[in-house]
Structure 1
Amino acid sequence: MRRIWRGLKLGMKSLLLHKLRSGLTVLGIVFGVAAVISMLAIAEGSSRDAQEQIKALGATNIIVRSVKPSDEAQASGGRPARILNYGIKYADYDRILATVPTIKKALPIREIRKQIRRLQHYLDGRVVGTTQDYADFNMLQVDRGRFLTAADNEKYQNYAVLAATTSKTLFPYEDPIGQSVKLGSDYYTVVGVTKERESSAGVGGSLAAQDFNKDVYIPLNTCRVRFGEKIVNSRSGSMEAEETQLSQITLQVATIEQVQPTVPIIKAAYEGEKFHPKKDVEMTVPYDLLLAAQRTARQFSIILGTIAAISLLVGGIGIMNIMLATVTERTREIGIRRALGAKRKDITQQFLIETVVLSGVGGLLGVSMGIAIPQIIVYFIPDQKAFVTGSSVMLAFSISVAIGILFGLYPARRAALMDPIEALRHE
């Protein structure tokens, strides 16, 4: 240890004799390490953001959703139907529950775009007819009052729970609890308000992005009675009518292992010419999407990490170049040390210590810069996610030290193999 410590002090002294050259050599490692950590942080942040969006749907959930059929599928006998009837029926819901034994919970949902009014205040939002389980399935938290209950649904109550933005828009200065809002031609008593929730991103091609902050939640049975199943929209003088019973069913199984076996059974309960010949129902399995997102994230991280590692390689080449020049400059010194009894391993050790010092200092500075850069990016681009992991820091620093040893080994061995007499004659 004493010999290594003496070699370290001698190496530092030698490197400080050429501060500019040593500093420029270190910069190659600094930028390489910083690039590896920053790129992996951005890749990890983007990956985690996407995976959180999918996890919000529930890894043990299976989502069956109504989709508007294509123009060809809409035509009936060569002519488009006057009333477009599509999507999940209550009969489908009952059949799925009766046929699939692994289902632990089921959440039926009916979504209707409506203007929500209260005196002179109004908001174009989404009326969601659902049950008491909706808040748990979608991770909604109640800010004031309460959420819907099973009794509200059974008794067809005209109760409503407002989302955060809906509440602020309709009741800017008042407490909404106990007040009334108008949906269509009916009035609903507000029993609760939910906290703000981040909008969900669109998943795959089957689920659109959802803004949970502009919703009104009412009991499903109340929605069925008050709004019916037929929605008429008037646009530019033309009348369009759609008939949909349920917009979505979210089915939950007990464990992740039950997801894959359950999927084909659910499909058999609603697919086929007998039930939905127009292909107006689609299924989304969040667990499958999560696995695909994780695979993509790993590939993305490998690609970015490889690109960033190239800059580390360039830094290593710079270290080798400088150390070869140093060996040439210090040929006479090497000859003197060998003449005084230094062994070849001592010479090799001395030059290796110097290269490790260069790469180690560069690695430490690069780690600091690599941790700071993602924070700066997130500060100026708030939508961009970045997450620095301990494994990426250790990986980048370890590679920087390994590159120092690898690229310093040849110059060190070249110095050690010099003939002492020829080295002493060197001018």
Structure 2
Amino acid sequence: MNFFELVIMALRTILGKPMRTLLTMLGVIIGVGSVVTLVSIGQGTAAQIEKQYENLGTNLLVVNLLGNGRATQLDYEDLMELEILPEIESIAPTVTKAGSNVKYERTSESFNVIGTNDRYFTLMKTELAAGRELVPADVEFRNQVAVIGSEAAKTLFGNVDPIGYDINIDGLVFTVVGTLKEKGSNIGGTSPDSSVIVPIETARRAFKLGQIRTTYLEAPEIGQLVTAQNTITQFLTYKFKSSNGFRISNQDELMNARKEASSSLTNQLISVALISLLVGGIGIMNIMLVTVSERTKEIGIRKSIGAQRRHILMQFLMEAAVISGLGGLLGLLLGIGASLSWPLFNPGQPTELSLEIGIYAFLFSVFVGIIFGLYPANKASRLKPIDALRFD
């Protein structure tokens, strides 16, 4: 009996009781489907993270102050003097006021207000939709002007061009001088789309924001990033008399940290999904034991007319493999469907299908079926013809 005859015989047998077969395959279907879906979500998240950081370039440093008090304060002028160094191209200190009430006429909404300088737009790789960005004179003279993100512009003004109109931010009037194109999330999940950007000195004085907490620095090229990081580390250590009051991160560190956290969570979820595959294997073993019991006389008849032990073994082993293989195939289709439809229900979570992982999950399901089918198949092959024929 060749391979294809065994497959056809196995299909006829298991399709004879479709409901029992489907219930037997359920654990395998859920396991394979879960693995494919979770991997696609994990890879989609990793790709999204990588895209966010690539949008900012790879030669960017982020300085965060950790302490409080005058011992860990930075002045705007002190920071900007570092631009004379050859390893530092530009610097954009920032202060942020989250959840500010921004109002235009009768429309009012909460947005983040970011106080910064003209370099910020270049470092964040933003693009103008209309008007202009901040200029050095806005910072120097503390002008009450604002550049607003695409979401803020749409919410406050609808289809009206906001350039030249006044908005009210927490009771203070600012003139809109520019709007930004849609960009998406930046580092830390913040987005220029839902932000109002004003001159840093204006923000510090008007909203009493105090010291600068976050600063973005850019090296001229990726090869000078380490030198720039060492320079700013030495500067801050000397100024604060300690290296504990700040944290400096570069793009690779931030991206790798977030991708590692996402990968770790995905792997844990996949481990849980694989358990359902093993449970499905146990279900296959149970149903095959029942099948052996039900077909004992059939086994006796086949042996009495010349079927050898290996023929019986291969017959039942093939049935277990076909059950798990069909379950794996259905699970693969289920996982592909879930992966493609997931962004429709959760637009903020992209997915990225991996054919390689899908094939591995399918092959693993077949392997599980064979492993858990060995015992029932071996039991069937060891039956003695005389005992099998007398079985009631």
**Distance 1:295-1:275 versus aligned 2 partners, 3 A rule:** closer
Structure 2: runs of 5+ lacking an equivalent: none
1:249 counterpart letter in structure 2: Y
Q: How does 1:32-111 map to 2 (within 5 A)?
A: 32-46=31-45, 48-49=47-48, 52-53=51-52, 56-65=55-64, 69-70=67-68, 73-74=69-70, 86-95=73-82, 97-98=84-85, 101-103=86-88, 105-111=89-95
Q: Distance in 2 between matches of 1:125 and 1:22?
A: 56
In structure 1, the residue matched to 2:309 is: 344
Q: 1:336 to 1:50 in 2, by over 3 A?
A: same
Matches of 1:122 and 1:370, distance apart in 2: 43
TM-score (norm: length of structure 2)? 0.77
**1:37–1:371 CA contact under 8 A, matched in 2:** yes
**RMSD in angstroms over aligned alpha carbons?**
4.3
The one-letter amino acid paired with 1:269 is F
- Tell me how far apart the structure 1 counterparts of residues 384 and 156 of structure 2 sit (CA, whole Å): 90
Corresponding residue number in structure 1 for 2:183: 197
Which position in structure 2 is the counterpart of 1:17?
16
Specify the alignment match of 2:329 in structure 1.
364
What secondary structure is seen at the aligned counterpart in 1 of 2:361?
helix
Structure 1 residue 42, shift from structure 2 partner? 4.4
Does the CA contact (< 8 Å) of 2:121 and 2:133 recur in 1?
A: yes
| 274-283 or 306-315: bigger deviation | 274-283
Distance in 2, matches of 1:22 and 1:182, equals 66
For residue 144 of structure 1, what is the aligned residue in structure 2? 130
Does structure 2 conserve the Cα–Cα contact (< 8 Å) formed by 1:96 and 1:269?
no
Q: CA deviation at 1:321?
A: 1.6
Label 1:252 to 1:22 Cα distance change in 2 as closer, same or farther (>3 A).
same
Which of the residues 213, 219, 222 maps onto 1:252?
219
Find the aligned partners of 1:199 and 1:6 in 2 and give their Cα distance.
57
CA distance in 2, matches of 1:9, 1:401: 17
Residues 369-422 of structure 1: per-residue CA shift (max 9 Å, x gap): 233445666555555555543343223212111111111122223333333454
Residues 112, 19 of structure 1: CA spacing in aligned structure 2 closer, same or farther, 3 A cutoff?
closer
Tell me if structure 2 keeps the 8 A contact 1:62–1:283.
Answer: yes
In the alignment, what sits opposite 1:215? 196
| Distance in 2, Cα, partners of 1:122 & 1:324 | 69
Paired residue total: 387
Which of 320, 323, 329 aligns to 2:288? It is 323
Quick check: 1:87–1:247 contact (8 Å CA) kept in 2?
A: no
User: How far apart are the structure 1 equivalents of 2:8 and 2:185?
Assistant: 58
Q: 1:94 to 1:21 in 2, by over 3 A?
A: same
Task: Work out whether residues 117 and 181 of structure 1, in 8 Å CA contact, stay in contact via their aligned partners in 2.
Answer: no
Cα distance change, pair 359–170 in 1 and its aligned pair in 2 (3 A):
closer
Local SS of the residue matching 1:202 = helix
Alpha-carbon offset, residue 59 of structure 1: 3.8
Range 380-389 or range 292-301, more displaced: 380-389
- CA deviation after TM superposition for structure 1 residue 269, in Å: 1.9
Q: Give matches, 1:289-300, under 5 Å.
A: 289-300=254-265
Q: Secondary structure at the match of 1:271?
A: helix
Q: TM-score, normalised by structure 1?
A: 0.72
Q: Distance in 2 between matches of 1:368 and 1:161?
A: 48
- Please state how far the C-alpha of 1:138 moved relative to its aligned partner: 1.7
**Counterpart of 1:342 in 2: which secondary structure?**
coil
Letter in 2 for 1:338: K
CA distance in 1, matches of 2:382, 2:18: 27
Higher helix content, 1 or 2 = 2
